[in-house]
Amino acid sequence: DAGITQSPRHKVTETGTPVTLRCHQTENHRYMYWYRQDPGHGLRLIHYSYGVKDTDKGEVSDGYSVSRSKTEDFLLTLESATSSQTSVYFCAISDLGQGEQPQHFGDGTRLSIL
């Protein structure tokens, strides 16, 4: 299995509070991704990174920011959480940006915002 660790695995917080999710990899892969999974929507890309300090937006990036200061860590931050951001969040990694190498996923973080 790809070495991907997401933390925390579960979190409950209140509207308006800041939240940071962490994705840590031990594979030294260049590309890292954050997705959210909601019923009826499948997985949707929030942000991705193609190198240290190189990030770009996905299709549902509003209300989220990311940072990547080291190859192994990709952080997702909700500056002021809203109930619409209640979701399951997945991190993924790949060594090549296109489909030559599939993305491998972490185990997900269930985030509930009350």
Partner 1 sequence: AQTVTQSQPEMSVQEAETVTLSCTYDTSENNYYLFWYKQPPSRQMILVIRQEAYKQQNATENRFSVNFQKAAKSFSLKISDSQLGDTAMYFCAFIGGGSNYKLTFGKGTLLTVNP
Decide whether 43 or 75 has the Cβ nearer to partner 1: 43
With beta carbons less than 8 A apart as the criterion, state whether 45 and 58 touch.
yes
Q: Is 51 a binder of partner 1 (CB under 8 A)?
A: no
Task: Supply 88's token pair.
Answer: 């399951």
With beta carbons less than 8 A apart as the criterion, state whether 3 and 14 touch.
no
Specify the 3-state DSSP secondary structure of 49: strand
| Cα(28)–Cα(73) distance, integer angstroms | 10
Per-residue string for binding with partner 1, 3-42, x by CB under 8 A?
----------------------------x-x------xxx
Q: Site for partner 1 (CB under 8 A): which residue of 85, 103, 111, 113?
A: 103
Q: Is 53 a binder of partner 1 (CB under 8 A)?
A: no
Residue 95 one-letter amino acid: D
The site for partner 1 (CB under 8 A) is made up of 31, 33, 40-45, 48, 50, 58-59, 88, 90, 92, 97-100, 102-105, 107-108
